[in-house]
Amino acid sequence: WTGTHFEWSGRVREVLQDVFKISEFRHLQLSAINATLSKQDLILVMPTGGGKSLCYQLPALVSQGITLVISPLISLMEDQVMQLRKLGVGAEMLTGSTKREENTRIKNLISKGPASEKPKLLFVAPEKLAKNKSFMSFLQNLHRANGIARIAIDEVHCCSDWGHDFRPDYTFLGVLRDLFSDVPIIGLTATASNKVIADVQKILNLQGCLVLKAPFNRPNLYYEVRPKTAVQKDWLEEVADLLSAEFKGQSGIIYALSIKDTEELATGLRERNIKAGWYHASMSPELRSKAHTKWLEGKLQVIVATTAFGLGIDKPDVRFVIHHSISKSIENYYQESGRAGRDGRKAKCILYYRFADYFRLSTLVFAQQTGLQKLSHMLAYCTEPIKCRRELVAEHFSDTWGQGDDCKSMCDHCRRPRSSEQVDVTKHCISVYRLIRNALENETKLTANMLFDLWYGKGKPALRLKDIPAPTHSREYMENIVAHFISEGFVKEDFNFTAYSTTSYLKINTAGQQKLDAGYRIKTIVAVKAKRP
| Site residues (vs ligand ADP, CB under 6 A) | 22, 24-26, 29, 46, 48-54, 311-312
Q: Please pick, from the candidates 388, 429, 435, 468, the single residue that binds Zn ion as defined by CB under 5 A.
A: 388
Helix (H) or strand (E) holding 158: none
Only one of the segments 109-117, 124-132, 177-185, 381-389 lies at the binding site for Zn ion (rule: CB under 5 A); that segment is 381-389
CA angle 346, 349, 352 (to 5 degrees): 155
429: exposed, middle or buried (Cβ count in 10 Å: 0-12, 13-18, 19+): buried
The entry of ligand ADP, Zn ion, none near residue 46 (CB within 5 to 8 angstroms by kind) is: ligand ADP
Cα separation, 208 vs 246, whole angstroms: 49
441 binds, options Zn ion, ligand ADP, none, Cβ within 5 to 8 A by partner type: none
Q: How far is the CB of 156 from ligand ADP (least distance, A)?
A: 12
Residue 172 CB, nearest approach to Zn ion (Å) = 41
Exposure string of 430-455, with b = 16+ CB inside 10 Å and e = fewer, is ebbbebbebbeeeebebbbebbbbbb
Residue 98 binds which one of Zn ion, ligand ADP, none, with CB within 5 to 8 A depending on kind? none
Phi and psi torsions of 90, nearest 5°: -70, 120
Q: Which residues of 142-157 are buried (b: 16+ CB within 10 A; e: fewer)?
A: bbeeeebbbbbbbbbb
Q: Which is nearer to ligand ADP, 53 or 63 (CB)?
A: 53
Would you say 176 or 411 has its CB closer to Zn ion? 411
52 contact choice in ligand ADP, Zn ion, none (CB below 5 to 8 Å, kind-dependent): ligand ADP
| Residue 124 or 491 with smaller CB distance to ligand ADP | 124
Q: For ligand ADP, give the closer residue by CB, 285 or 312.
A: 312
What's the closest the beta carbon of residue 80 comes to ligand ADP, in angstroms? Answer: 8
Q: Where would I find the beta strands (DSSP E) of 33-153? A: 42-45, 66-70, 91-94, 121-124, 148-153
From ligand ADP, Zn ion, none, interface partner of 471 (C-beta below 5 to 8 A by class): none
- Report the residue number, 25 or 180, with the smaller CB distance to ligand ADP: 25
50 binds, among ligand ADP, Zn ion, none (CB under 5 to 8 A by kind): ligand ADP
| Dist CA 434 CA 313 (whole Å) | 49
Q: How far is the CB of 440 from ligand ADP (least distance, A)?
A: 42
Residue 311 binding result from ligand ADP, Zn ion, none, given CB thresholds of 5 to 8 Å by partner type:
ligand ADP
Please, what is the minimum distance in Å from the beta carbon of residue 79 to ligand ADP?
9
Q: Which does 407 bind (CB under 5 to 8 A by kind): ligand ADP, Zn ion, none?
A: Zn ion
| CA 57, chain centre distance (Å) | 21
Q: How far apart are CA 49 and CA 64, in angstroms?
A: 28
Window 401 to 440, contacts with Zn ion (CB under 5 A): 407, 411, 414
Of 320, 254, 310, nearest in space to 281 by CA: 310
Distance CA 87, CA 83 (A): 6
Comparing CB distances to ligand ADP, the nearer of 175 and 308 is 308
- List the alpha helices (DSSP H) in 301-425: 330-337, 355-365, 371-383, 389-396, 412-415
- Four-residue CA torsion sign, 77, 189, 37, 130: negative
- Please tell me the distance from the alpha carbon of residue 351 to that of residue 224, in angstroms, as a whole number: 6
Q: Which does 53 bind (CB under 5 to 8 A by kind): Zn ion, ligand ADP, none?
A: ligand ADP
Say how far apart CA 229 and CA 180 lie, in whole Å: 59
Q: Which amino acid is at 421?
A: E
Confirm if 274 and 243 have CB atoms less than 8 A apart. yes
Q: Which is nearer to ligand ADP, 86 or 99 (CB)?
A: 86
CB of 311 to ligand ADP, least distance (A): 4
Say what the alpha-carbon torsion angle 218, 219, 221, 227 is, to the nearest 10 degrees.
100
Binding mask 318-347 for Zn ion (x = CB under 5 A): ------------------------------
Choose the binding region for Zn ion from 60-68, 76-84, 93-101, 387-395 (rule: CB under 5 A).
387-395
280 binds, among Zn ion, ligand ADP, none (CB under 5 to 8 A by kind): none
Binding interface with Zn ion (CB under 5 A):
388, 390, 407, 411, 414
